[in-house]
Amino acid sequence: MPNKSVSRVLAGLLRLAASDIDDARLLLQRGRMRNAGTLSGAAASRLLQAVQTAGSGRWDPTALPSAKALDTSNPYRARLLAMADAAPPTAPQRDGGPAPTPGRSAVQARIDEIGSLLDDLVSLFAVDLRGDEPAGRISLLLPPPPPAEAHAPATIAPSRWTPDPAPEPEPIPATPITRPTISVAQQASSGSSASFWALMDKWQVADLDALDLLGHAGGLTKKGTRPRFRLSPPEAARLAGLHELDDRLGMLQISAREWLRKPLEAAPFDGSTPFALMQQERATGLDTLRRTVVRLGMQASLGSR
């Protein structure tokens, strides 16, 4: 049985990556190369996070996505490194102007490559992109094929998909694979509330409202201060969604702190604020806000043509 925390995070990351790729394809069709490239890069980052999480056997929300940090035995390291090398430049030019807009063929090729890796990881981790169930597997190694005959010997040769030539059983999810590039400080803060409180400070959300937004029970400490805790799997998934919302608003150069508190007249807000909608509709509010921000991005892209 896969580790529930890791399996839910893997499924969430792949679903977010699939959404990013779908949006990137729409923007490509509209001729918005820069935005399509940005969203495809976001999808690639989520796939890298998924591979890092499966490789270490645990979810570390503080770890920065880095293909170079993957163990050299990781079967997806070379592929992810090639993707990182092929990423279009995003830094401003020396004269202060924006980075050059990538060409259509380059963006299309990048989207196709990322989409191909997404398909491979969806199959590997047994994730239903349309559902909400956790991943069926969390190992980077494909399971060995079934024996050809019923009377096959008990000892089966290692699968050809095993990157290490030595026979090796599938790792137990609860035992992390050693990854030297992760510092002791990162290991100590893995799954902690530090990333959550940092985002809430950025949005300037009061402590009690922040805990309610995350769905964390217990309230403040006896001294009236914010608690420090390890995120449960549902809390980690919700925090990933909050970070995604913040990232998407940042791409549009919109202040999340201001936008979340701005009354909106269009449905489904009807004069309420996005923050209020997230609090009132705990299960679906975050998805509603994400779709709203995607529409804002599409409108901005069409308006600037």
pLDDT of residue 145: 56
Show the tokens assigned to 214.
């995350």
Amino acid 203: pLDDT: 93
- pLDDT of the residue at 143: 53
Q: Residue 182: its pLDDT value, please?
A: 34
If you search the block for the tokens 């092929």, which residue do you land on? 86
Q: Which residues pair with 230 in a beta bridge?
A: 192
Q: pLDDT averaged over consecutive 10-residue blocks of the chain (305 residues)?
A: 76 91 89 86 90 86 82 86 79 72 86 91 90 86 57 48 48 42 35 85 91 87 89 85 86 88 86 89 79 76 55
- Output the pLDDT for position 121: 92
Distance, in Å, from the CA atom of 108 to the CA atom of 88, rounded to the nearest integer, reads 12
CB under 8 A, 24+ apart: contacts of 214-220: 214/238, 214/239, 214/242, 215/282
Domains and CATH numbers, the chain: 1-141+182-188 (1.20.120), 191-305 (no CATH)
Question: What pLDDT does residue 60 have?
Answer: 79
